[in-house]
Structure 1
Amino acid sequence: MGRADDRRARQRGARRAKAKKTGIGRFFTWKKMLGTFFGLCLLAMGAFVVLYLYVPIPKANAEMAQQSNVFKLSNGKVLVREGPVNRENVHLSDVPLKVQHTFVAAENKTFYKDNGVDLRGTARGLYNTVRGRTQGGSTITQQYVKNNYLTADQTVSRKLKELVVSLKVDQKYSKSEILEGYINTSYYGRGAWGIQAAAQAYYGVDASKLNVSQGAYLASLLQAPSDYDWSSASPEGKKLVKARWAYTLNNMTEMHWLSESERAAQKFQIPQDPKPSKGLKGQTGYLVKAAKQEMKAQGVSDAEMDAGGWTVTLNIDPKKQAQLEKTMKQQLIEKLKPKTRPVDADLQAGAVSVDPHTGKILALYGGWDYLKHEYSNAKRTDYQPASTFKPIILAAALESGAKTQGGKLISANTLYDGTSKRPVVDSNGNKVGFAPPNEDDHNYGKQVTVQSAMNDSVNSVFAQMGVDVGLDKVKQLGVDLGLSRLDNAQAVPAMTLGSYGASPMEMAGAYATFDNHGKKVTPTIVKSATNPDRTPLTLQKAIGDQVVSRQTADAITSVLTGVVQKGTGTVVKNKDQKVAGKTGTSDNNKSAWFTGYTPDLVTSVGLFGEASKTHKGPDGKTILHGTQVTMSGAAGSPTGRINGAGFPAQIWAAYVFGLDMKPSKFDLDTDQGAAVQPSFTPSPSASNSPSSPASPSTSATASHSAPPPPSHPVTPPSPTDSGTDAGTDTGADTGTTNGNTSTGTGTTDGNTSTGTTDGNTSTGTGTTNGTSNGNGNGGPLGGLGGGNNDQTG
């Protein structure tokens, strides 16, 4: 081989060596790269198939199921939202269609056509996540899945899971269901979760009342709730949210959800400023608590309520509620000076106003402030209703056709002995050990009509009448009228003077039954309630069966108009409006009442003495916080005493007559009482002689057990807490029942009464300008049947 051939051979070898890849480069041929790409695609597809098959739709996040309980007034205005989160889910059908479209236009125009995911957006999100950046879900379905099923964690695994679950959710649920879930689980700022809470927070309306402009703003908020809240947004934030608002509306026009003319007419509506939640302060807590208690009585457990999601509409009339609160403030609260007059701090007030035809509670006053005194004075049953109980005795007499000891049928014109401290006698003429004094120990004579006795609240008359009727019958009627404490009580003579506890709500219900011509009225505060599944709660009927005949009920109304026209209730007398009512004041001035009614409204007002703190009493003994105490001297009362004819009646009159109601008259089916005939003044020779006592008995034989203790930590009433109205309060008893002793003292002129029960001694000190001796049936509250019951008015 020549030199030339050798050179050419070397050149050919060099070219072949140059053409041959060496090192890592030999692995990256275009064929290999293409094969690898398709292999990876197949692997990814296989992995996705496996992921799709094995990743289920998770259980919804528990916090996304949480809702607040929403309490509304009768006009639909939200009173308060209560619960772990401010959310009230609504059906998509409750949201106007154009408002629905604002969310789709703002977030996902292709929502109704896509399969629930945006692959490009998801890929972009994965890329940004790998680089440490944030990227939101692209479609409404993906955002809903993130809200309802997953978390907001920015991880690749979470985003892959979001992709799979979104596809499955889109297959399983309709677009309407997904959109409904999305607008209910999204956060809008101001503590508002879901469109209903947002509509209230930003525009003060329900979601069903939103217009397109408002909907477009709420839809725009979802991009940046804090930055886009108009009340706190920077100038740049306001500019951006208005731009997004316009973008949303323009997209609606593009999608033909909004016409050009409708788009041109849209004006940006500035949201209202944030309003701090009033929570349960003031009267709100009392209203909510009363509603919850009523629902619990209907079978709704505390756990069910605490879970949230209830929408409860109350019967409360906003105007009447506002008027009642205003009246309490003007007639009483503004007169209190607890810093300079300590007794003022011990004064509590409660009131309930009821429609007698429907049973609806139209207004309720539970106390000065729920956050300061959680126990509702409107519903407390631990204070005596005193003389407001007397109409029930007369009703029992009329209904049963009862007669006096002299055999005369009891009616408004029946004569009784009105002598103070006259011993009460049974059907055999034996003394029963009960001889209550009248107000100021006043004697009304031996011939006083029942009408006059009601007008002046003559204790001796109604104590005897109760025995004439039969104490068991009086008690049963009280139970039938809704006085819960009588249910397990002993029927003793002192009961006739209202010695068992009752609440303003119960007394309002009892008097409403009289106003409703004898048909039972159970005051109800809940108008309607729906559970989280939007199933309505079946409510009890507020109007029940006939408790007493119409004639009996109407006769009571007729008689009670006399109390207002000529008796202790004249402070509520009105020349245009017919009113029936009764005052009451308990012994030692621990409670004072006025319960009255017009043909269309029944209202019971009660004032109660309750120790505001633990302190030493005048006698050096410790008085515990919550203990029943006297109200005497509170609010600068000119007489020193708080009686039913004073503040309670004044509050009642200012409230009722301040409502500007149209004057009305009672439609009465009766021929007796002040409303249908003039008061009867008996002549000295009247033949209808009253009952007279026979020889005294030596001791009582019945023993009585105490009623259930009050749920509120207050001391039980003293044995003879019964009291006076427009008169002097007198003492309490010291009594023993079945060997258990309770002691209380209260003297005026230092006179004493004693009595025994089952061989045990019951001693009471306290009379008014005289001496009262009672050999007593020891009562259920420690000597309740014995001693003095000086309570009138």
Structure 2
Amino acid sequence: MSGGPELMTHHAYEEPEGYDDVEPEETGGKRALTPAQRKKRRWKIIRRVAYAFVGVFFVLPAIAFVITYFLVDVPSPTEVAQNQSQAVTYLFADGSPMGKDVPRGGNRVLLSPEQIPDVMKHAAIATEDDSFETNSGFDVGGLLRAVYNQATGGTGGGSTISQQYIKKATDNDAPTLTRKWTELAKSFKMNQTYEKKDIITAYLNIIYFGRGAYGVGAASQAFFHKEAKDLTFSEAALLAGLIQQPGRSENDKVAHDRWNTALDRMVKNNYITAADRAAAQFPTPIPLEDSKQQAGAPPAFVIQQVKDELAAHDIPEDRYYSGGFVVQTTIDPKAQQAAEQAATEALENQVDDNLLDALVAVDPKTGGVLAYYGGKPIVKGPNGEDQAGRDWADTPQNPGSSMKPFDLTALLKKGEGLDKTYDGSNNRTFDGRVVRNAGPGSSCSQQCTVAEAMMRSANTVFYDMVLNDTKQGPVKEAAKEAGVKVKEDGGQSIVSTKDNNISLGGGETQITPLDMASAYATFAANGEQRDRHFVQKVTNAQNEVAYEATTDAKPAFDSDADKSRQIAGNVTEALKPVIGFSHLKCPNGHECAGKTGTQQHTKVAGEPAWAANANSQTWMVGYTPSVSVAAWVGGDGNKPLHGKNNSPIYGSTIAGPMWQKFLSLYLTGKPGEKFDKVERIGGEVAPPPSTEVVTTSESTPTEENPGNDGGDHPGRGHESETPSSSSSKHTKPSTTSKETPTGSQDPPR
């Protein structure tokens, strides 16, 4: 019947969904899908997954990218330059102005595309982004390589020149997906907005090259004293190469390696010929300090210490000039003036032009550096030209007998104290080696207490102590616990345990004045060690705190704070009589403790006869409860140094008075202070009868009256012309003694 319902038996059978690949008995007896139907079903699932994949990974990101594109702005080079050109303002500890550190590159101007030569543009493109001319702001291949390198632990990124510009312009290098996403959008937008010649110009106007120079205009002046338009392809290659490692621009090997890399890539990109590459010669930059410091700038060596400290706390050199930072230092204006005056006056009337000096003062209560004098920041070269001076306050030298307090610390940590006795007589033999004292004034009896041995600086006692009792390792550990930063831990100093020279501060053991002042500050702080630092606080242009130092203390010599305090107090008790015995004195009302030190010169062929008795390094390191001071007077290496009439110099002849002068200037007007008393380790013993009289002596050491300085050389001694019995335990030192080195010519210890 037309239009009537069809019979059920005439319907083609349609399998309901869900019966794919199922046996009839499992579906109520219904027939399973045919192979063709199953294939059709699988393709339907694949298509749906593919649509979802495209939507999630392509369509949605594309939409998000378009939205981001219209939301972001590309910062102009002018805006970026305004932020990068800001000087760093320095303040003293009390908040008063110290000066400004202006970038060495000077006042930078933005160069036009025509003012930057093609060789500079080509060098940067070849070195940093060889697809620059064709990419749209990002390089897909580079991004994939960067992802692969991160996954496999390799090196190398995928940032184009446009991306690097955005990163520097926004000062945002956070390792987040959000930052990378917006960076890609801005890079793409930049390439849609600007021509390639404008992009490479913008990049070269803001990128950091080292030496404080942002932009190629400043860099060409800072490195070569010329206009950017006059750069050669070889000079351009060096500047382009340094973009990757600007903080190591003064490392000669790094500079050569980066220059070679840039040239090789310029050849690969057909910017120079192979013949040009073969003929290229390394363009030696002008001396680092060729541009003199501007008037009113902080001390150059203080600036460098601050830079190093900030770099260790996430403010590296390429951010240093870009934040509008204000640095409040720990430098006390009165202390700094006193340090510069004392150090300058110490060498004014000296006849030896090879003499150098340094002085560092540290606050034991905070670890802050109160004063820092490392010598002249600019010195004359062999042809009268200005050259960068060396920071002698951060240069390691043999400490001589100023090492002995660490010997004593190691002994005290064993539970043995100042009343322990050793044979303090002269010319003792250890393993076939003769060790001598500094003469009769430095020797004592065969039952010499450690306390008297420290006062007299008896070499034989401390050599014996370390060799047979404490051993060398614990002495090194004591020095590190006190605050000496050794090379293996990232510091400058070397404390060698390869032989027993460590006991007398000789051989390979070399410590900086900065480390010595910091370490002795731990004794002054009753065994509490604080990290030394030059920076109190750093604020940025928005007056936000970018960094603030901590002054937390920890027990130095024992996990028990009381035990550490007792050890430090015993060291102080041993060092108090040294001041008077060395013919030095403390400011009225203040107690002092400290130790002199001398390293003897090793005579070499061709030197004058007087060099056989000369010394090469001298020290006075000492402290009050409120300040620890290291004064060093010496030479550059193993140079024979002399005073008037070719007389030897000692720790007590120039370094000692310099130390004394600083304390006199700095502590004037400050309340008197005494050391805390602690229980004596190892029992009680009466101090030498002469201690009180000697400690209050008003005599001042001179070259004619050096006092006792301690012999710091196992094979040679300093003999006094004043008679003194080596067997007398408590001989009062003569105020008219004159020490004259004599003995064998063993190498310095």
Residue in 2 that maps onto 1:59: 76
Residue in 2 that maps onto 1:609: 635
Ranges in structure 1 where 5+ consecutive residues have no aligned partner: 1-52, 88-147, 149-275, 402-409, 425-430, 611-626, 682-723, 734-744, 749-766, 773-786
Shift of 1:346: 1.4
Partner amino acid, structure 1, of 2:595: K
Structure 1 residues 32-89: Cα deviation after superposition (integer angstroms, max 9, x where no partner): xxxxxxxxxxxxxxxxxxxxx99988625132222112222222314223225679xx
1:81 aligns with 2:101: yes
Structure 1 residues 508-532: Cα deviation after superposition (integer angstroms, max 9, x where no partner): 1111001111111322111111345
Residue in 1 that maps onto 2:42: none
Cα 1:542–1:463 shift into 2, 3 Å: farther
Cα 1:393–1:547 shift into 2, 3 Å: same
Shift of 1:443: 4.2
Q: Is the 8 A contact 1:528 1:539 kept in 2?
A: yes
Shift of 1:486: 7.2
Q: Is the 8 A contact 1:349 1:368 kept in 2?
A: no
Partner amino acid, structure 2, of 1:451: A
Q: Is the 8 A contact 1:420 1:460 kept in 2?
A: yes
Residue in 2 that maps onto 1:379: 394
Counterpart Cα distance in 2 of 1:380 and 1:73: 24
Shift of 1:574: 4.8
Cα 1:282–1:435 shift into 2, 3 Å: farther
1:484 aligns with 2:453: no
Residue in 2 that maps onto 1:457: 457
Residue in 2 that maps onto 1:470: 471
Shift of 1:648: 1.0
Partner amino acid, structure 2, of 1:577: H
Shift of 1:377: 1.2
1:313 aligns with 2:328: yes
Shift of 1:308: 5.6
Residue in 1 that maps onto 2:502: 495
Partner amino acid, structure 1, of 2:347: I
Q: Superposition pairs for residues 230-249 of structure 1, below 5 Å? A: none
Residue in 2 that maps onto 1:368: 376
Counterpart Cα distance in 2 of 1:397 and 1:729: 20
Ranges in structure 2 where 5+ consecutive residues have no aligned partner: 1-69, 109-168, 170-290, 380-386, 489-493, 558-563, 602-614, 691-705, 720-739
> Match for 1:399 among 404, 413, 417?
413
Counterpart Cα distance in 2 of 1:768 and 1:315: 41
Shift of 1:674: 13
> Match for 1:648 among 644, 648, 655?
655
Counterpart Cα distance in 2 of 1:671 and 1:728: 24
Q: Mark the structure with the bigger radius of gyration.
A: 1
Over the matched positions of the two proteins, sequence identity in percent amounts to: 26
Cα 1:411–1:280 shift into 2, 3 Å: farther
Counterpart Cα distance in 2 of 1:587 and 1:333: 20
Cα 1:313–1:473 shift into 2, 3 Å: same
Partner amino acid, structure 1, of 2:632: G
Q: Superposition pairs for residues 476-555 of structure 1, below 5 Å? A: 476-485=477-486, 487=488, 489-499=496-506, 500-531=509-540, 534-548=543-557, 549-555=564-570
Residue in 1 that maps onto 2:177: none
Residue in 2 that maps onto 1:599: 625
Residue in 2 that maps onto 1:564: 579
Counterpart Cα distance in 1 of 2:712 and 2:450: 24
Shift of 1:533: 6.0
Partner amino acid, structure 2, of 1:581: G
Cα 1:531–1:574 shift into 2, 3 Å: closer
Partner amino acid, structure 2, of 1:455: M
Residue in 2 that maps onto 1:416: 422
Aligned residues: 423
Counterpart Cα distance in 1 of 2:418 and 2:435: 21
Structure 1 residues 536-569: Cα deviation after superposition (integer angstroms, max 9, x where no partner): 334453443111211000011111101113x22x
Shift of 1:789: 5.2
1:389 aligns with 2:403: yes
Shift of 1:306: 5.0
Residue in 2 that maps onto 1:629: 639
Cα 1:510–1:535 shift into 2, 3 Å: same
Cα 1:591–1:560 shift into 2, 3 Å: same
Q: Is the 8 A contact 2:325 2:539 kept in 1?
A: yes
> Match for 1:322 among 331, 334, 337?
337
Counterpart Cα distance in 2 of 1:599 and 1:286: 26
Counterpart Cα distance in 1 of 2:422 and 2:713: 26
Structure 1 residues 377-424: Cα deviation after superposition (integer angstroms, max 9, x where no partner): 11111x1111111011111111122xxxxxxxx321221111223123
Counterpart Cα distance in 2 of 1:670 and 1:86: 62
Counterpart Cα distance in 2 of 1:374 and 1:69: 22
Counterpart Cα distance in 2 of 1:657 and 1:56: 60
Q: Is the 8 A contact 1:561 1:674 kept in 2?
A: no
Partner amino acid, structure 2, of 1:629: K
Partner amino acid, structure 1, of 2:596: T
Counterpart Cα distance in 1 of 2:71 and 2:568: 73
Counterpart Cα distance in 1 of 2:638 and 2:321: 33
1:581 aligns with 2:598: no
Counterpart Cα distance in 1 of 2:682 and 2:688: 8
Shift of 1:630: 2.1
SS at match of 2:656: helix
Cα 1:727–1:359 shift into 2, 3 Å: closer
Q: Is the 8 A contact 2:401 2:712 kept in 1?
A: no
Cα 1:439–1:543 shift into 2, 3 Å: farther
Q: Is the 8 A contact 1:421 1:435 kept in 2?
A: yes
Structure 1 residues 453-475: Cα deviation after superposition (integer angstroms, max 9, x where no partner): 11111111001111211211111
Q: Is the 8 A contact 2:587 2:663 kept in 1?
A: no
Q: Is the 8 A contact 2:711 2:718 kept in 1?
A: no
Quote the RMSD (CA, aligned, Å): 3.8
Q: Is the 8 A contact 1:361 1:523 kept in 2?
A: yes
